[in-house]
Structure 1
């Protein structure tokens, strides 16, 4: 699982760098003393071993969203849920699974990417009694 955590961190950084022309911003949001890092990418960026370990489907038509919650420089457990909406307002619920490894906690979910389009994500992160909501748009592309 250490390889999975390392890969997801690397994927977040490298996908962010590759998409810098589109995104133009770091993918994080602060809510008081809590920082939520997030990124989404096509599942073909995952190696077959990593996808299998994370129980993810590796396909050109599947995207992955990765969320981590940090407080005081340390990973924080949270309840993460959300949806992704296409341009016709068709909404797909995101089912996040928690991955806990030594020194890291990630929440990952998959969603369909049938064609190139901009999608709207709404991610709810609950820590204790507080629920914070991330809303962002992302242009998505099916993989090769």
Structure 2
């Protein structure tokens, strides 16, 4: 997969899943580039939510993760797991579903959130891990 094709794919996926293009969020883990975005599920159209078996709700978010080979930028499928922790220390395990469309492959999971809540994500990609924090708001 060419770099241009990948960039276009990321832009399309971002548009589909978030309703707007966000700044790229990327972690490099060994030989992988891990691209991720977390957003409120109400950004999804009802048709897209149904297509990917996702629930649209003001209090539900979606995490989208794509793993690419750092050199070739080809999609990788190392397996992804993770959890989310809210400010009260309550833990939610993320139940990722793998989606493959042509040469693209990515992982989707949903999580609960409250208004103005900063969540701590811990993501395991194969044998490697990364963490990030993100604030969420209730949207209709």
Given the two structures, how large is their TM-score scaled by the length of structure 2? 0.84
- Report if aligned partners of 2:14, 2:22 keep a CA contact under 8 Å in 1: no
RMSD across aligned positions (CA): 1.8
| Mapped contact 2:19–2:43 kept (Cα < 8 A) | no
Map 1:87-98; keep pairs closer than 5 Å. 87-98=87-98
2:73 maps to 1:67: no
Aligned with residue 14 of structure 1, among 20, 23, 29: 20
- Any idea what SS the aligned residue of 1:74 has? coil
> 8 Å contact 1:121–1:137 — kept in the other structure?
yes
CA distance in 1, matches of 2:94, 2:125: 13
SS of structure 2 residue aligned to 1:142: coil
The 3 A distance-change label for structure 1 pair 13 and 29 is farther
Asked if the contact 1:15/1:41 (under 8 Å) is kept, the reply is no
TM-score normalised according to structure 1 size: 0.82
Shift in CA distance, 53/6, structure 1 to aligned 2, threshold 3 Å: farther
Matched, 1:39 2:45: no
Task: Write the deviation string for residues 68-112 of structure 1: whole angstroms up to 9, x where unpaired.
Answer: 000021101121110000111111100000000111101000001
The answer for unaligned runs of 5 or more in structure 1 is: 18-25
Q: Where do 4+ consecutive residues of structure 1 move more than 3 Å?
A: none
Between Structure 1 and Structure 2, how many residues are aligned?
128
The CA deviation at 1:8 is 2.7
Alignment check: 8 A CA contact 2:114 2:136 kept:
no
Match of 1:30 in 2: 28
Change (3 A) 1:134 1:13: farther
